[in-house]
């Protein structure tokens, strides 16, 4: 993969030798406690101590002070980044701080930078963490939304050289930095997919992207079109696609960590390239933004990119169903009864509850292909936004242990996930229909649960986690780790889940 940091070095600390344009210095409340601080002051100039006292250089958390240097070397500027109290700075804070630095590096068109890694460590943050978080945070912060402006003749300034300054003799610092970089790049790829308009990213184009990804990382790849879906009886995906002039696609990727295809984790993503609602049409304000209804697919594709780079010891199958949800003389309608791949029949009550339909067939296919665990990811319901806001992903599960492992992964990545209940009475309402086994829209009260619970009807007893990212998949304003638009939600958590399950595997076998 082409990195945005073309060259990364690790060097010892000799400030007089710094050859980059910018030096980044983490500044805790009492910077004199940072190892090597007096060397830095003698290099930079003793006025620094005065400026720290007057507050001209702020140590407040996330405050950035940019100052020029007086030496005539290559180094033009020092970015002092306030870290606040040394005791309370957490890894999540540091990731965000590096995100803001990434943004600043783009804004200032910096092409090479040194990071004084040792200045960031505390009780909670070891040098490896600082290396990892700097790559991940800066990498995510650098992201810019691709646009189609003809007037834009701005040349993108890309950071192409990073030097990590440390006195630590840890050999693996560079490796940690590179993993952070892989995670950031995967997130940014997912963001771009979410940001692409639906006339550009059709189901066929998404499948082309998936095929290339599979080739790059040597995944087994299978792609089903309309004819194959008809043959297999994927009535649920086909119903959603029925009103479209675009062909649907089912993308299947297999990452084989082991010879034997058992103990397989299935990652299933909703890939609706545009959701008009169909005949249960959305109001005009509800339509804008529905190009992002493939955020689940983007999350799975992003996670597969990380898996392809880091090669964990765990078999993984990715299944992504993609189509748009359109209106025409052929479109499916409320009152229709359809037969899914599983054989279960579904009464359509609302054509805007289309995500659960494509997920139903995808989950069944993942199981048929050997998945023993399933995580589905989808921009599934407006209900999750009402319940949890735009910064928390909603979850359902049928397996405490599996969910616990996933929660640990999300604590590591800093992506907030909150579980909602799925009770027998919820399931009863999903199964209530005079004419079919299930209905696709039991009501608006607590409907995040109905959306996920419907998918659960096809998962059956397989350990399962449902992730509703309707709120978290795109940001309505710029944030520390990126701009407004696609966020790449769950890319890092899915990959970290697989990483953790891979470690469990390795421990069992040793």
Cα gap 465→178, rounded to integer Å: 29
Query: Which of residues 110, 205, 381, 493 is near ligand BES by CB under 6 A?
Result: 381
Total number of residues that touch ligand BES (CB under 6 A) = 16
Cα gap 380→397, rounded to integer Å: 15
Near ligand BES by CB under 6 A, which window of 102-110, 158-166, 209-217, 376-384?
376-384
Strand ranges in 108-263 using DSSP code E only, listed in sequence order: 112-116, 161-165, 220-224, 249-255
Length in residues, the chain: 510
Q: Is 426 in the site for ligand BES (CB under 6 A)?
A: no
Binding site partner of 447, from ligand BES, Zn ion, none, Cβ cut-off 5-8 A by kind: ligand BES
Cα gap 416→467, rounded to integer Å: 11
Binding site partner of 351, from Zn ion, ligand BES, none, Cβ cut-off 5-8 A by kind: none
**CB count, 10 Å around CB of 79?**
21
Tell me the catalytic residues. 282, 356
Query: Which of residues 96, 352, 415, 499 is near Zn ion by CB under 5 A?
Result: 352
Site string for ligand BES, 433-472 (x = CB under 6 A): --------x-----x----------------------x--
CB of 356 to ligand BES, least distance (A): 8
Q: Is 485 in the site for ligand BES (CB under 6 A)?
A: no
CB of 502 to Zn ion, least distance (A): 32
Q: Is 376 in the site for ligand BES (CB under 6 A)?
A: no
CB of 239 to Zn ion, least distance (A): 13
Near ligand BES by CB under 6 A, which window of 202-210, 312-320, 345-353, 475-483?
345-353
Q: Which tokens hold the place of 100?
A: 């803001």
**CB count, 10 Å around CB of 43?**
19
Q: With 0-12 CB in 10 A as exposed, 13-18 as middle and 19+ as buried, what is 63?
A: middle
CB of 439 to ligand BES, least distance (A): 10
What is the SS3 assignment for 320? strand
**Is residue 357 within 8 Å of residue 248, measured between CB atoms?**
no
Nearest 5°: the CA angle 320, 480, 414 is 55
CB of 458 to ligand BES, least distance (A): 17
Alpha helix positions (H), 369-488: 383-388, 400-413, 424-430, 447-459
Query: Which of residues 99, 141, 269, 383 is near ligand BES by CB under 6 A?
Result: 383
Q: Is 198 in the site for ligand BES (CB under 6 A)?
A: no
SS3 content of the chain, % helix, strand, coil (to 5): 40, 20, 40
Query: Which of residues 118, 275, 361, 468 is near Zn ion by CB under 5 A?
Result: 275
Note the residues at the interface with ligand BES (CB under 6 A).
Answer: 275, 277, 293, 350, 352-355, 379-383, 441, 447, 470
């Amino acid at each position: 993969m082409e990195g945005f940091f073309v060259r990364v070095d690790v060097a010892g600390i000799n400030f007089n030798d710094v050859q980059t344009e910018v030096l980044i210095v983490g500044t805790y409340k009492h910077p004199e406690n940072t190892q090597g601080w007096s060397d830095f002051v003698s290099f930079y100039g003793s006025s620094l101590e005065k400026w720290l006292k007057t507050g001209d250089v702020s140590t407040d958390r996330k405050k950035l002070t940019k100052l020029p240097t007086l030496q005539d070397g290559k180094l033009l500027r020092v970015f002092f980044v306030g870290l606040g109290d040394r005791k309370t700075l957490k890894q999540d804070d540091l990731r965000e701080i590096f995100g803001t630095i990434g943004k600043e590096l783009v804004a200032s068109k910096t092409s090479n930078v040194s990071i004084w890694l040792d200045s960031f460590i505390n009780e909670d943050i070891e040098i490896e963490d600082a290396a990892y978080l700097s790559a991940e945070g800066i990498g995510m912060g650098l992201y810019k939304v691709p646009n189609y402006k003809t007037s834009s003749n701005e040349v993108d300034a890309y950071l192409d050289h990073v030097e990590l300054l440390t006195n630590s003799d840890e050999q693996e610092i560079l490796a940690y930095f590179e993993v952070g970089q892989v995670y950031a790049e995967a997130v940014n790829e997912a963001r771009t997919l979410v940001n692409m308009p639906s006339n550009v990213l059709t189901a066929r184009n998404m499948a082309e992207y998936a095929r290339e990804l599979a080739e790059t990382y040597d995944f087994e790849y299978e792609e089903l079109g309309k004819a194959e879906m008809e043959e297999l009886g994927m009535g649920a995906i086909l119903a959603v696609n029925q009103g479209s002039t675009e062909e649907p696609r089912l993308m299947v990727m297999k990452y084989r960590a082991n010879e034997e295809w058992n103990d397989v984790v299935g990652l299933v993503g909703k890939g609706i390239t545009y959701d008009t609602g169909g005949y249960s049409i959305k109001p005009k304000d509800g339509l804008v933004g529905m190009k992002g209804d493939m955020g689940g697919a983007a999350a799975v594709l992003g996670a597969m990119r990380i898996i392809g780079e880091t090669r964990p010891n765990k078999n993984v199958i990715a299944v992504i169903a993609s189509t748009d949800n359109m209106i025409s003389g052929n479109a499916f309608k409320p009152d229709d009864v359809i037969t899914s791949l599983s054989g279960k029949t579904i009464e359509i009550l609302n054509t805007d509850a289309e995500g659960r339909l494509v997920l139903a067939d995808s989950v069944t296919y993942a199981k048929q292909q050997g998945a023993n665990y399933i995580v589905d990811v989808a921009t599934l319901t407006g209900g999750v936004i009402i319940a949890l806001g735009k910064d928390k992903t909603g979850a359902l599960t049928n397996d405490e242990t599996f969910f616990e492992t996933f929660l640990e992964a999300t604590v590591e990545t800093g992506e907030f996930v909150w579980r909602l209940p799925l009770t027998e009475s919820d399931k009863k309402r999903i199964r209530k229909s005079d004419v079919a086994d299930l209905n696709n829209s039991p009501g608006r009260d607590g409907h995040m649960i109905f959306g996920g619970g419907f998918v659960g009807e096809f998962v059956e007893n397989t350990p399962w986690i449902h992730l509703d990212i309707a709120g978290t998949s795109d940001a309505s304003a710029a944030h520390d780790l990126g701009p407004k638009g696609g966020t790449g939600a769950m890319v890092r958590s899915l990959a970290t889940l697989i990483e953790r399950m891979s470690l469990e595997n390795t421990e069992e076998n040793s």
